[in-house]
Amino acid sequence: MTDALSRRPAPFATKLGLGLIGFAILWWFAYYAQWEGAFGLLRLKFACLDGATPNVCFSNSRSGAVSRPIRRSFGGPAWPLSSSVSCRAAGAERKGAGMNKRSWLSRTVPRGMAAFALVSIFAGAASAAEWIERRYDPPVGSRWIIQRDLFSEERRNEDGRESVASSTMKITSELTIEAKTATGYRIAYRRIKSSYDGNADNAEAARASLSALENVVFRATTDASGKPLRVENIDEVRQAMRAMIDRLTSSSSVDPRIVTTVRGLLNGLTQLTPEQAAQGNLDEVPALAVVQNTGLKPGETRRGSDRPPNAVGLAMVKLTVLSIASADAASGDVRYALTENYDAASIREFLLAMAGKLGRDPEDMKKMEITLDGRTDFEVSGGMTRALHRQSTMKSNLMGNTLVITDRKDVRVTPAK
């Protein structure tokens, strides 16, 4: 695991189980391996767990007590398997032949220890192999830094001319757990700082839009898994957004075309409902909650379909498949894999609506062939998502002109200092 996914101490039951497994293996090789090796004649050796059968007597006669060296050669006379007498009686019969009867303790202790060892193997193995999902339960008052880095590359082929543009967007945010409720939590979320670098189109508009949302505090309620349900201070948020938009777009240093673009993008933020704002304006918080309190078990798969809102109030139909990639029973840490495919018709609707907001001709969007899919890998520790890695690809084709956008997103969650 990474630093963000530091391992937790193994539970006492797991340590005890592993210790018992080691002791069981040591005892097996120290006692029963004396006769025909560790894996020889297992049918007879396992019978030693169930009283003094003739086979048990024969097995015990060959292995002897661990506390003393074996004095008999394996080449000695064989003990008759057809005898039905007890080991005590058998020992008495053999006493006349010069064989010493073993004490009750030397016969009983090995059997009890063997039974204990075998039970320990199964109990310890079950303890070590069983993975139990940790519940999402962050301490009230705790603060967390969410660092999101998004790298995007655009490859265009327009009228036979190829071009490549790339950009890197970084957003640092703070999540505070303010209170625990009967059904979830009350949280506060705000962006602390952001940056945008690259040669992609509208870079200046992107920087202006990011800067407009810095230090706007969203106070929201969540369910038990940390999924945002509703922004409680929506009026305060709308007022702060309008003031920032006005301040940015009234600057004489900003290109008027950028002003139009920024207003078109951000005005939609001031019209979202409290529920839409909870899903569309808290950046990665909804995505991080997807793999908290899942109820999934190893080998299970969960399929879903939803239409999550976004920052501009529009939505696309998303088809998802969630599964457990790996799980550590000792620490409870788990990795999830989520695949996503977006419905082509809903993507086209989204682009048509965006074209209208930005004042562009939407007719071209109706003829466009477009696909969008992605995969997200999550790392969860202590019931809380601590890392997210997502890669997505969008491909479009309009009358031979192609566009391929590849996004790679890395998100880390660490305790605030």
Say yes or no: 100 and 214 in one domain: no
Domain span at 330: 143-415
Say yes or no: 47 and 155 in one domain: no
Say yes or no: 244 and 272 in one domain: yes
User: What local confidence, expressed as pLDDT, does residue 272 receive?
Assistant: 81
Say yes or no: 405 and 317 in one domain: yes
Say yes or no: 179 and 256 in one domain: yes
In total, how many domains does the chain have?
A: 2
Say yes or no: 225 and 107 in one domain: no
Say yes or no: 303 and 165 in one domain: yes
DSSP string, 217-277: PEEEEEETT--EEEETTHHHHHHHHHHHHHHHHT-TTS-HHHHHHHHHHHGGGGG--HHHH
Identify whether 136 is part of a domain: no
Last residue of a domain, one of 107, 129, 151: 129
Identify whether 394 is part of a domain: yes
Last residue of a domain, one of 99, 129, 159: 129
Say yes or no: 47 and 195 in one domain: no
Q: Classify residue 12 by burial, with Cβ atoms within 10 Å: 0-12, 13-18, 19+.
A: exposed
Cα separation, 16 vs 12, whole angstroms: 6
The CATH number linked to 342 is: 2.30.230
User: What local confidence, expressed as pLDDT, does residue 96 receive?
Assistant: 46
Last residue of a domain, one of 98, 129, 160: 129
Say yes or no: 304 and 373 in one domain: yes
Say yes or no: 19 and 109 in one domain: yes
DSSP string, 284-338: THHHHHTTSS----TT-EEEEEE--B-TTS-B--EEEEEEEEEE-TTT--EEEEE
Q: Running along the chain, 417 residues long, what does each successive block of 10 average in pLDDT?
A: 44 64 68 60 55 50 44 40 43 46 48 53 52 96 97 91 92 98 97 87 72 88 97 89 72 63 67 87 94 95 79 72 96 96 80 68 71 94 97 88 94 96
Identify whether 178 is part of a domain: yes
User: What local confidence, expressed as pLDDT, does residue 255 receive?
Assistant: 66
**pTM, rounded to two decimals:** 0.64
Say yes or no: 325 and 402 in one domain: yes
